[in-house]
């Protein structure tokens, strides 16, 4: 197993990570160093209801941080209208920084708000695409994830809906990365087993796709390896023992690390199809990942043979040692399949697309979307509509 060195690569992971005990208490100091004393807090209704927002505000007030406003009415899909609405509240509150507490939707919306404010309130839709967003003004930005999956706190990616044109626009830029990412188990313990399970499997998929993508590089692969090892060891524990702090923190670390990895080497066909299954049939992202991971890896196996063989070493070292080299890639898929099955015995995660509510008559629609998903561009094996349809059938 020799390591792959691309002829050229880039890597950025500029967010400062605060992970573990009293991480939340340290936000005051970090924001102050970044030049913010009146940050605006974004979160969602669910977190408000379970008390996470209040817990955080109490910690802030004890550590001397005064927020200038709180906004929790965040939709599932972040949109330009919502970002504009929050921006006007942000200005009215005379805020000087952003703190996001939540999952993917809150963080994406916060990234949109940060983009808008840092570009002086100008039209941000023109920055859709890859690497066209300039840095803009300094808007201190801290993210506190409440799930351990999307890794959005470590990615330079945001998806924002343009209501006028009815399209979801993807923004890829290192200037979307937050300044600070905060992993604190007090904000993670309320996750129910099913959410722990599917978000954890999302993070595992990030690591696997990033490790084997055409854009892989030694740094992103090192991150992916760390994430895989953490997830294989700690996801079952985090599901079984929701208050096990060590397991929760391990999973939060894993999601962050996997996020940093795929932010630099992209994901692949599991995500291309998964995004489409989510958009067309409403299958939750992590659950779509858990269903599509194995059939997609089988599709990629010949092109990603070396990478999948490596993966076996990191997820099951003993099996790697006892498996002949030529069988290791297939064995890795087997071990992962067994792992996902094991997770299904611990939490309600559906096994097939049909169980998850996908209709066969929507396959064409899903496939048409999937081949236009940017995640496909660096997948180890090219895929057309028919290839996607075959994977859908296998996962059905």
Partner 1 sequence: MIKTVKKAISNIVLLVLYRALRVLSQHDSRVRNEFEALPEGFTVALRINPSEGEIRMAKVNGRLKRIGKRDDYDVLITFKGIDAAFKVLTGQMGVARAYAEHRFTLKGDIGVTMGLVRMIDIAEAYLFPRIMTKRILRSVPYKEKSTLTIYRKVFIGV
3 binds partner 1 (CB under 8 A): no
In whole angstroms, how close is the CB of 258 to Fe ion at the nearest point? 9
Tokens of residue 68, six digits: 């200038």
Q: What burial class does residue 99 get, using C-beta atoms within 10 Å of its C-beta: 0-12 exposed, 13-18 middle, 19+ buried? A: buried
In whole angstroms, how close is the CB of 65 to partner 1 at the nearest point? 37
CA-wise closest residue to 305 among 211, 206, 217:
211
130 binds, options partner 1, Fe ion, none, Cβ within 5 to 8 A by partner type: partner 1
Site for partner 1 in 255-294 (CB under 8 A): 265-266
x/- map, 71-90, Fe ion, by CB under 5 A: --------------------
Among 18, 128, 231, 269, binds partner 1 (CB under 8 A): 128
The residue among 260 and 266 lying less far from partner 1, judged by its C-beta, is: 266
In whole angstroms, how close is the CB of 132 to partner 1 at the nearest point? 5
Could you tell me which stretch among 103-111, 114-122, 200-208, 297-305 binds Fe ion (CB under 5 A)?
200-208
179 binds Fe ion (CB under 5 A): no
In whole angstroms, how close is the CB of 4 to partner 1 at the nearest point? 12
Could you tell me which stretch among 178-186, 201-209, 299-307, 315-323 binds Fe ion (CB under 5 A)?
201-209
> Which run of H or of E encompasses 39?
strand 39-42
Q: Is residue 188 helix, strand or coil?
A: coil
- DSSP letters along 50-119, please? TTHHHHHHHHHHHTT---SEEE----SS-BHHHHHHHHHHHHHTT--EEEEEESHHHHHHHHHHHHHHHT
Cβ–Cβ < 8 Å for 32, 97: no
Cβ–Cβ < 8 Å for 203, 149: yes
In whole angstroms, how close is the CB of 110 to Fe ion at the nearest point? 18
Could you tell me which stretch among 1-9, 52-60, 141-149, 321-329 binds partner 1 (CB under 8 A)?
1-9
Could you tell me which stretch among 20-28, 122-130, 227-235, 318-326 binds partner 1 (CB under 8 A)?
122-130
106 binds, options partner 1, Fe ion, none, Cβ within 5 to 8 A by partner type: none
Query: What are the helix (H) ranges across the chain?
Result: 27-34, 45-49, 52-62, 80-92, 104-118, 193-212, 218-240, 245-265, 269-281, 285-300, 305-315, 317-322, 328-346, 363-370, 385-395
374 binds partner 1 (CB under 8 A): yes
372 binds partner 1 (CB under 8 A): yes
Size of the site for Fe ion (CB under 5 A): 1
Count CA atoms within 13 Å of residue 258 on its CB side.
Answer: 29
The residue among 272 and 335 lying less far from Fe ion, judged by its C-beta, is: 272
Among 130, 192, 218, 359, binds partner 1 (CB under 8 A): 130
Cβ–Cβ < 8 Å for 251, 235: yes
380 binds partner 1 (CB under 8 A): yes
Contacting residues for 107 by C-beta, under 8 A, at least 6 apart: 100, 143, 145, 150, 152, 153
> Measuring CA to CA, how many Å separate 62 from each of 28, 66, 183, 315?
10, 10, 19, 42
232 binds partner 1 (CB under 8 A): no
310 binds Fe ion (CB under 5 A): no
202 binds Fe ion (CB under 5 A): yes
12 binds, options Fe ion, partner 1, none, Cβ within 5 to 8 A by partner type: none
Size of the site for partner 1 (CB under 8 A): 32
Find the residue with minimal CB distance to Fe ion: 202
CA-wise closest residue to 26 among 12, 16, 13:
16
169 binds, options Fe ion, partner 1, none, Cβ within 5 to 8 A by partner type: partner 1
Contacting residues for 261 by C-beta, under 8 A, at least 6 apart: 206, 207, 210, 211, 220, 221, 223, 224, 227
How many other CB atoms sit within 10 Å of the CB of residue 59? 18
- DSSP letters along 234-255, please? HHHHHHH-TT-HHHHHHHHHHH
386 binds, options Fe ion, partner 1, none, Cβ within 5 to 8 A by partner type: none
Could you tell me which stretch among 20-28, 176-184, 213-221, 354-362 binds partner 1 (CB under 8 A)?
213-221
Write out the residues near Fe ion by the rule CB under 5 A.
Answer: 202
Residues within the interface to partner 1 (CB under 8 A) = 6-10, 126-132, 167, 169-170, 172, 213-215, 265-266, 303, 371-374, 376-378, 380-382
């Amino acid at each position: 197993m020799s390591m792959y060195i691309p002829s050229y690569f880039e890597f950025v992971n500029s967010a400062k990570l605060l992970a573990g005990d009293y991480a939340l208490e340290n936000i005051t100091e970090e924001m102050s160093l970044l030049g913010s004393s009146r940050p605006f807090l974004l979160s969602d209704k669910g977190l408000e209801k379970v008390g996470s927002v209040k817990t955080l505000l109490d910690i802030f007030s004890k550590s001397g941080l005064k927020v200038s406003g709180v906004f929790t009415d965040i939709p599932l899909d972040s949109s330009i209208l919502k970002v504009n609405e929050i921006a006007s509240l942000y200005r009215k509150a005379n805020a000087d920084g952003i703190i996001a507490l939540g999952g993917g939707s809150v963080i994406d919306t916060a990234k949109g708000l940060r983009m808008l404010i840092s570009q002086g309130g100008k039209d941000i839709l023109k920055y859709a695409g890859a690497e066209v967003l300039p840095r803009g003004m300094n808007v201190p930005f801290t993210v506190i994830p409440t799930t351990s999956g999307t890794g959005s706190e470590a990615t330079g990616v945001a998806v924002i809906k343009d209501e006028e044109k009815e399209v979801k626009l993807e923004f890829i830029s290192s200037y979307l990365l937050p300044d600070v990412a905060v992993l604190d188990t007090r904000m993670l313990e309320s996750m129910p087993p099913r959410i722990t399970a599917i978000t954890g499997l999302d993070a595992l998929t990030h690591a696997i796709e990033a490790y084997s993508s055409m854009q892989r590089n030694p740094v992103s692969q090192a991150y992916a390896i760390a994430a895989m090892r953490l997830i294989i060891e700690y996801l079952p524990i985090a599901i079984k023992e929701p208050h096990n702090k060590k397991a929760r923190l391990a999973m939060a670390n894993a999601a962050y690390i996997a996020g940093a990895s795929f932010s630099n080497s992209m994901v692949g066909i599991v995500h291309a199809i998964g995004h489409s299954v989510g958009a067309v049939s409403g299958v939750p992202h992590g659950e779509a990942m858990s269903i599509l991971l194995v059939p997609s890896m089988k599709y990629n196996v010949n092109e990603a043979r070396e990478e999948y063989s490596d993966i076996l070493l990191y997820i099951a070292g003993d099996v790697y040692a006892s498996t002949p080299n030529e069988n290791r890639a297939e064995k890795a898929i087997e071990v992962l399949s067994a792992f996902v099955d094991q997770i299904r015995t611990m939490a309600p995660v559906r096994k097939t697309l049909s169980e998850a509510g996908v209709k066969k008559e929507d396959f064409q629609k899903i496939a048409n979307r999937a081949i236009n998903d940017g995640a496909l561009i660096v997948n180890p094996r090219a895929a057309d509509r028919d290839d996607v349809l075959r994977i859908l059938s296998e996962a059905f």
